Structures are given as structure tokens and as C-alpha cells.
């Protein structure tokens, strides 16, 4: 039995029966059948369906935001923004997909030679709970526009969101069976991945889950894209505008209660300003209004599950025992719900959990540096490589650091890291491989076919 629990109240919202192996096999077979026709549907028709899906998202925005608040604790205002972003990615691929899929002529001595882009078939998406709609739509929009089909194994605690996506795809006129949610525990992902009808897989989740999916897919020679964890460093140089830096760093740390792979996590600050930065960051984070995510005035909801809150608190306690200094927060509040307050730890150093481990919650780790080479060393001293940011008034210098020296898939100057449908998204090292979004993301699940005519 799969349960959905409101993390703000600990109340069980709904229970679901897992789909049987027979149901799963039939769903994959139906997706194959639907995709066999969908691949020959015109690009204009595919784009029309995506535009309808964007409109459906917009029409249902408030209800979907409330569903997210109840299932995983996202504040209403953030939920509304997430749905708007999902509509954006649908419209982006509807408007630009034909250009991305156009044949690419290559000049050779032959009469004609070019690259054609053809869909792979049914793609399995294994998605997490932290952005229950956005994570799915950034895969779904390019995959369907490219002519693929999809089956979704969503996180169990957001099953209601998964079924809502199913319903919206059907309501937008896509062929029956082209996209389907499978209600399954994580232990049954291999059952889907090894089905001969599944051509490829994409996963957003932990590095442990990524290894499991990659090894299973590799044994079947199936393409995978993995977007895994992150421990994003934010470098605050001596000449940084602290108003900009504090605003961006606090926002990047508190968005979605800090439950984001690309959340700001490690703040590496020049010794000349680390004291002022830490004080101002703590003051700004303390302004967050923690409470019922259904309340429009709340800016910080609970963590998605109590066990995740407990794991985060354990990281904080172990870091304090190792010598970190508590500035604010660090105490589990009484009462129901998986709440955790904005927390700032100063004097963080190597060997502490908050230095080397991903902290999935509203905990900021502040450390200092004396020179630029030391800052770069600390930033890159991580198994992860998803995002990074640099704050400096010297934009040319900041861009050089971002482009040349930081080991991450996305590097920003004077703002916090965020995904954008127009830009490729993904990481290196233990943060995974492959890219989502932009043309790069669409091409991940295409047969890049060479065609030569004499």
C-alpha cells in the first residue's frame, strides 16, 4: 500500500494500491502502440497538443498548487510559480521543437548527407517529490514533442500529483496510452527498466538511485540521463555587493525549504566580509515565515517527510559537535509536521557533514577563504558538480571563474542558480550525466541518425 502523508500535519491524505506486473506490462505495450503512430504525427499537431497542455496547466494552477502543498509541503506561492514554469516549458518546446528536430545538412562529397533526429520509443522517467510537476514536465515536454512516449514512476508521496499529470495529458488530446503514470514502489523500478518495450530512462534523485538505474540500464544497453544530488558552492568575493549576495544566497537556500539539488548550500566568503555576510544572511533567513503551506503568507513550509527532517537535523548536530558555530536555528520545533527552521552554521570546515554532504533543507553552511585559489579549491572540494555561483562587482573576473575554474554543470554570476527551458541543465561528477532542457535535452532521447545519398 502506498500512502500520501501531509508533512505539515502528519495526516494520511490518501492510500493507493500499487499497479500489478500485468498492468505495468500492458501500460508499456500500449505506450509502444501509441508511439508507433505518434512518431508519424506532424510537428504542428504535436505542438498544438503541447499548447493545450500548457493551457490546461494554467487553468488548473491553483488546484495543483494546493495539491503540492498537501502532498509535499510546498508553500502555495511557490506551487503557483512551479505550475507557471511547467506551462512555460510546454510552450517553449511547442514553439521551438520543430527547429530543434530539423535535419542538419552536412557538406561532403556525396550528393546529400545530413543528420536526422528520430525518437527512441518509450522513455521511463523516475522522478522525485521536491518539484513534483516541474521535474516531470521538463522531461515530458521535449520527449513528447520529439515523438517519444513516456511512462512515469513518480515518488510515492506525491502520487496524487502523478495522477494529475496523467489526467492533464489525456485532457489535452494526446493519444491514449502515450504517457502513463505507474504506481509502484522504488523496489520495482527494475521491472519497468528491463521491460523490452522501454528504450531509455531518465532519473532525478540521489546518487544511490542513479547508480542502481545506471547499472541496470547498462546491463540492457539502454540510454540514461541522470540528474542527481548537489552541494552547490556560492563564492562571495571581497568586492561583492553584499545587498545582492545576501538576497540571492538567502533566496537560493530557502526556495522549496532548501529541498533542491541546485539550492545554494555552501557559502564560501572572503575573510574580510565573512562576519558581516553571516550576520546579514542570518537576519534575512530569519525573516522567513514558517507554517502551514496552504497559508498564502507562509514562505517556508515543512520538509517533505519527517525522516528527511531528522536526517538533516542529524547533519547539523554532528557538524556542531565537530566545531561548527550555530548562528540561528538548529532546533526541531515542537508539534506535528516535518518543520525545520532556517539555520545558519558558521566556521564550517572540512570533515564536517555540512561541508561534504548534501544538505536537503534550509541549512546554510558558511566558510571563509583568504585568496581566490583557496576559494576555488574549497568550491571544487566536493563529490558533486551540479551548480555554482560567484558574487563580485568585477563581472569579467566572475565570468572567468564561472567559465574556467568551477567544476559544475551550471555556473551563475551575481544570482542564484536556476533552471530555464532555454538552457541545458545537468551536472558532472556525482551529480550525474546528460542534459535536460534546451535542444540538448531533447536530443538526449533521439536517434541522431546519419543519412547519406549518393
Residues with active-site annotation = 227, 261
Environment class of 206 (CB within 10 Å of its CB; exposed 0-12, middle 13-18, buried 19+): middle
Q: What is the largest CA-CA distance in the chain?
A: 75
How does strand 432-433 pair with strand 223-227? antiparallel
- 149's grid cell: 512516449
Q: Enter the C-alpha cell of residue 288.
A: 522567513
The Cα 150–Cα 185 span in angstroms is 18
Cβ atoms 129, 31 nearer than 8 A: no
Distance CA(142)–CA(128), nearest Å, equals 19
Please say whether the beta carbons of 451 and 114 come within 8 A.
yes
Residues composing the chain: 454
Return phi, psi of residue 209, to 5°. -65, -40
Burial 351-366 (b: 16+ CB within 10 A, else e): ebbbbebbbbbbbbbb
Classify 345 in phi/psi space as left (phi over 0), alpha (psi -120 to 50) or beta: beta
Distance between first and last Cα of the chain:
60
C-alpha pair distances (Å), 233 with each of 139, 261, 360, 385? 26, 12, 14, 9
Cβ neighbors of 106 (< 8 A, separation 6 or more) are 113, 114, 115
Strand partners, 266: 233, 365
DSSP string, 291-331: S-TTSTT--B---S-HHHHHHHHHHHHHHHHTT-EEEE---
DSSP code of residue 125: E
Neighbours of 373 (CB within 10 A): 10
Amino acid at each position: 500500500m502506498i500512502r500520501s502523508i501531509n508533512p505539515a500535519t502528519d495526516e494520511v491524505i490518501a492510500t493507493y494500491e500499487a499497479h500489478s506486473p500485468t498492468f505495468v506490462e500492458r501500460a508499456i505495450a500500449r505506450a509502444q502502440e501509441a508511439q508507433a503512430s505518434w512518431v508519424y504525427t506532424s510537428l504542428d499537431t504535436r505542438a498544438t497538443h503541447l499548447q493545450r497542455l500548457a493551457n490546461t496547466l494554467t487553468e488548473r494552477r491553483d488546484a495543483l498548487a494546493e495539491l503540492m502543498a498537501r502532498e509535499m509541503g510546498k508553500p502555495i506561492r511557490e506551487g503557483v510559480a512551479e505550475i507557471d514554469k511547467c506551462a512555460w516549458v510546454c510552450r517553449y518546446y511547442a514553439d521551438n521543437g520543430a527547429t530543434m528536430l530539423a535535419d542538419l545538412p552536412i557538406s561532403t562529397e556525396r550528393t546529400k548527407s545530413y543528420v536526422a533526429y528520430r525518437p527512441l520509443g518509450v522513455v521511463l522517467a523516475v522522478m522525485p517529490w521536491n518539484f513534483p510537476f516541474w521535474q516531470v514536465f521538463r522531461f515530458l515536454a521535449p520527449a513528447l514533442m520529439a515523438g517519444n512516449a513516456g511512462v512515469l514512476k513518480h515518488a510515492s508521496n506525491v502520487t496524487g500529483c502523478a495522477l494529475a499529470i496523467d489526467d492533464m495529458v489525456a485532457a489535452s488530446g494526446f493519444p491514449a496510452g502515450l504517457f502513463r503514470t505507474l504506481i509502484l514502489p522504488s523496489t520495482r523500478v527494475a521491472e519497468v527498466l528491463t521491460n523490452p518495450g522501454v528504450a531509455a530512462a531518465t532519473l532525478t534523485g540521489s546518487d544511490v538511485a542513479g547508480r542502481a538505474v545506471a547499472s541496470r540500464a547498462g546491463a540492457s544497453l539502454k540510454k540514461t540521463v541522470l540528474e542527481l544530488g548537489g552541494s552547490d558552492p556560492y563564492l562571495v568575493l571581497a568586492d561583492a555587493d553584499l545587498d545582492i549576495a545576501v538576497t540571492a544566497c538567502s533566496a537560493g537556500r530557502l526556495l522549496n525549504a532548501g529541498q533542491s539539488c541546485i539550492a545554494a548550500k555552501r557559502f564560501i566568503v572572503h575573510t574580510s566580509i565573512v562576519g558581516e555576510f553571516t550576520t546579514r544572511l542570518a537576519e534575512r533567513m530569519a525573516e522567513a515565515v514558517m507554517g502551514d503551506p496552504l497559508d498564502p503568507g507562509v514562505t517556508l513550509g515543512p520538509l517533505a517527510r519527517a525522516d528527511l527532517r531528522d536526517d538533516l537535523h542529524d547533519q547539523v548536530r554532528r557538524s556542531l559537535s565537530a566545531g561548527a558555530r550555530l548562528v540561528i536555528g538548529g532546533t526541531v520545533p515542537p508539534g506535528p509536521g516535518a518543520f525545520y527552521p532556517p539555520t545558519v552554521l558558521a566556521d564550517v570546515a572540512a570533515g564536517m557533514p555540512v561541508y561534504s554532504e548534501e544538505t536537503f533543507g534550509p541549512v546554510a553552511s558558511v566558510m571563509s577563504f583568504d585568496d581566490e585559489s583557496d576559494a576555488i579549491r574549497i568550491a571544487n572540494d566536493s563529490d558533486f558538480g551540479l551548480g555554482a555561483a560567484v558574487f563580485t562587482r568585477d563581472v569579467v573576473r566572475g565570468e572567468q571563474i564561472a567559465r574556467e575554474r568551477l567544476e559544475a554543470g551550471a555556473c551563475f554570476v551575481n544570482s542564484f542558480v536556476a533552471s530555464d527551458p532555454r538552457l541545458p541543465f545537468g551536472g558532472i561528477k556525482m551529480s550525474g550525466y546528460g542534459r535536460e532542457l534546451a535542444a540538448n535535452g531533447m536530443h538526449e532521447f533521439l536517434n541522431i541518425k546519419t543519412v547519406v545519398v549518393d
